[in-house]
Structure 1
Amino acid sequence: MKAVLDRIVKIVEEEKGGLMNGGKTLPFKILIGVSILGHILSLISPSFFQLVTLSPSSLFGIQLWRLLTSPFVGHNILVLSITILSLHFGVRLLIQEYSTIHLLKTFIITQISCSILLCILSYFLFALFASSYLLYEVSLCGMAPVIASVMVMVKQFLPDSIVFDTGMGRIKYTHLPLNACLISFIASLFGLIRFVVPLEILLGTQLSWTYLRFLSPHETEAVIGDPSEHFAWASLFPSAFRPFCTLISKGTFRTLVKCGVCKRRQIRHVDVTSLLSNGGPSSPGMRTMPPPMDGERKDAERRRQKALAELNKRLKQQNEKKIDWDEDDDEDDKPEKVVSESVSPSTSSSLPLLSSSSDPPIA
């Protein structure tokens, strides 16, 4: 009876967790449904598409509402399919670490800032090269920046986890942003998507990384951004290019610090000499270290979980080998059973008694 009750409680807890996760992912399911409906209406009615889509010229014509409607319309089924996969599988993975509000906030900031930046870029191209193609003839639609944002957040959450193995090496989650940029560029060369989509993914990757690295507030602590080592800008590129990318990132960051755009993180150290000379932690000459930042704790926790998983895997393999060897040894070295017959009182009375030398002769 107790086992049955425990099983019922376990099932209820599993169903409760599924309902909670379903509630968390409900806004993203609504986004998927609205995107599908918007693409269907765009294919059916070209006038509807022209009404809700975004072009750089319409944005500066005080039609700011197009920033909110353009992500849900489009004509490319391939981009729509990748958007659905990213919002479905990516959010199911990210919802374990981030809240729904944090994900929606990151997606909205990335999508809107990418659209505005592309509009500004189109005006610069028109002013410098007198090219009006991007300004008047290109429509910004779809959620390509959101796709890039999902890839960057998955990289931040699971940098060392393996997606799949290939003949040339392992593809990890940390490689997803770069692979998304490369695949979209190759697809644009073959005419599968418009040339503006790789540009949106590239800008979306940079903008989402900038927000998560420097501006994203923590939900429970007064921590801004993610200063962990695995989330550095150079980690977006292959290992062979990382030294060169590190130099570029350091030079850019120093320039932004001098311009007042960014601020350096103040790190306090312990003055060991002053600590030993003044004799104790209560000395006025000692400078204490602050508790580790939230990003550092997350990085250490990810490494600890990875090491623990590898250790458990090795221990499991060793235990399986040990069990196999023990079974073989038990079969080979199994001692022979010695059957000893117990002598019952009735049997012992029927056996003849042996006479010793001190006993008298029996007549």
Structure 2
Amino acid sequence: MKAVLERIVKIVEEERGGLMNGGKTVPFRVLIGVSIVGHLFTLISPSFFQLVTLSPSSLFGVQLWRLLTSPFVGHNLLVLSITVLSLHFGVRLLIQEFSTAHLLKTFVITQISSSILLCILSYFLYAIFASSYLLYEVSLCGMAPIIASVMVLVKQFLPDSIVIDTGMGRIKYTHLPLNACLFSLIASLLGLVRFVVPLEILVGTQLSWTYLRFLSPHETEAVIGDPSEHFAWASLFPSAFRPFCSLISKATFRSLVKCRICKRKQIRHVDVTSLLSNGGPSSPGMRTMPLPMDGERKDAERRRQKALAELNKRLKEQNEKKIDWDEDEEEEEEEEERPEKVVSETVSLTPSTIPSQSDPPIA
């Protein structure tokens, strides 16, 4: 907790020092301001809330404009506070890697698609169980899907960075989406938020991951999605459940490929002969080799940096041990040299005591 507070203070100081200049975060500050104003109007006028909020029945009543107004209203101050913190500190962290247009596009797609999917789900529940509660009486409001999207983006950007180091284990950025789902569920059971908020965060997490994994275009290269290993669907869960989740994800993906909803990852090839000949004709028997995708290169770079850090740490420990060993070896060598000197002196004195043949015999 102390590390998190120090991080927040540092970010606030950087904000005060003008590190967020250039207008990159202005759209997100506008979102925060409009959301705060919308919640104030909601608390003042309940009729205003009924006018701009979204319910599944109103969506299919050709009132599509509610998709754009419902994220900025709500009654829950806890959800509003978490939204402000996510948009402020989360965007402050993400703007180092992603552009403003990419973040806004991800947020808009996640928010609107989550609302539409929940409306469709309410109709399925009404058709199967004849339950009209979610269809008519529940209002979808607030930016809970955007909170989930921020968590997924942070996981994609800094998967191995540590947020909190506790005695029971380390909480990393890669654990944020799951922690957001669990926290919202506990808050819902305690009555702090409505029961639809955990459902919005869960759906927002899945949809934002799907978009970033398969559909999001790369900003500098012609690459779609992020196929890196650390961003797989199983990585959203704890390590103990990942083997089982990997089986589920593989079976689901194969089913979607057979239904022609998804496509398998395309592997780019390069002809080695034409590279060596600067564009010349390649031999018919020359095989091609795959080039790594952009996401795989990023994943390989992260693993390389981690391996280098561990190697430097081990080398440092070995150098410290080597210094101790060298001192011990020098002492042992000095102790060994002393008996050798004594023996050599004894050997040098012994021939002088033995009589040589040239000496006269003793009478």
Mark yes or no: TM-score above 0.5.
yes
Distance in 1 separating the partners of 2:88 and 2:271: 51
Letter in 1 for 2:124: F
Residue 73 of structure 1: aligned partner: 73
Residue 168 of structure 1: aligned partner: 168
Matches within 5 A, 1:35-54: 35-54=35-54
Matches within 5 A, 1:186-265: 186-265=186-265
Partner SS, residue 296 of structure 1 = helix
Partner SS, residue 23 of structure 2 = helix
Answer yes or no: is 1:158 the counterpart of 2:162: no
Distance in 1 separating the partners of 2:167 and 2:251: 36
Residue 99 of structure 2: aligned partner: 99
Distance in 2 separating the partners of 1:94 and 1:172: 16
Letter in 1 for 2:142: G
Aligned residues: 301
Per-residue deviation at 1:22?
5.0
Distance in 2 separating the partners of 1:304 and 1:131: 53
Partner SS, residue 286 of structure 2 = coil
Letter in 2 for 1:95: I
Contact 2:54-2:141 at 8 Å conserved across structures: yes
Residue 287 of structure 1: aligned partner: 287
Residue 333 of structure 1: aligned partner: none
Distance in 1 separating the partners of 2:141 and 2:105: 19
Per-residue deviation at 1:267?
3.3
Contact 1:52-1:69 at 8 Å conserved across structures: yes
Partner SS, residue 24 of structure 1 = coil
What do the CA deviations read for 1:93-135 (whole angstroms, capped 9, x no partner)?
A: 1111100000000000000000000000111111111111001
Residue 339 of structure 1: aligned partner: none
Residue 121 of structure 1: aligned partner: 121
Per-residue deviation at 1:290?
3.7
Contact 1:54-1:67 at 8 Å conserved across structures: yes
TM-score, normalized by length of structure 1? 0.77
TM-score, normalized by length of structure 2? 0.77
Per-residue deviation at 1:310?
5.2
Residue 304 of structure 1: aligned partner: 304
Letter in 2 for 1:206: Q
Residue 139 of structure 2: aligned partner: 139
Partner SS, residue 289 of structure 1 = strand
Distance in 2 separating the partners of 1:312 and 1:83: 40
Distance in 2 separating the partners of 1:89 and 1:232: 25
Residue 59 of structure 1: aligned partner: 59
Distance in 1 separating the partners of 2:318 and 2:145: 46
Letter in 2 for 1:116: I
Contact 1:270-1:286 at 8 Å conserved across structures: no
Gap runs ≥5 in structure 2: 1-13, 273-280, 325-363
Per-residue deviation at 1:74?
0.3
Distance in 2 separating the partners of 1:20 and 1:83: 19
Contact 2:269-2:291 at 8 Å conserved across structures: no
Partner SS, residue 165 of structure 2 = strand
Distance 1:303 1:284, change over 3 A: same
Once the two structures are overlaid, the 10-residue window that deviates more, 117-126 or 294-303, is: 294-303
Partner SS, residue 289 of structure 2 = coil
What do the CA deviations read for 1:70-110 (whole angstroms, capped 9, x no partner)?
A: 00100000000110111011101111110000000000000
Letter in 1 for 2:30: I
Distance 1:315 1:286, change over 3 A: same
Gap runs ≥5 in structure 1: 1-13, 273-280, 326-363
Distance in 2 separating the partners of 1:143 and 1:32: 10
Residue 350 of structure 2: aligned partner: none
Distance in 1 separating the partners of 2:153 and 2:224: 16
Distance 1:82 1:315, change over 3 A: farther
Partner SS, residue 23 of structure 1 = coil
Residue 149 of structure 1: aligned partner: 149
Distance in 2 separating the partners of 1:80 and 1:143: 8
Per-residue deviation at 1:266?
3.2
Per-residue deviation at 1:163?
0.6
Distance in 2 separating the partners of 1:202 and 1:114: 9
RMSD of aligned C-alpha atoms?
Answer: 2.7
What do the CA deviations read for 1:57-78 (whole angstroms, capped 9, x no partner)?
A: 1111111010001001000000
Q: Structure 1 runs of 4+ off > 3 angstroms?
A: 17-22, 266-272, 304-319
Contact 1:24-1:100 at 8 Å conserved across structures: yes
Contact 2:267-2:291 at 8 Å conserved across structures: no
Letter in 2 for 1:198: P
Per-residue deviation at 1:53?
0.5
What do the CA deviations read for 1:195-225 (whole angstroms, capped 9, x no partner)?
A: 0000000000000000000000011111000
Per-residue deviation at 1:268?
6.4
Identity %: 89
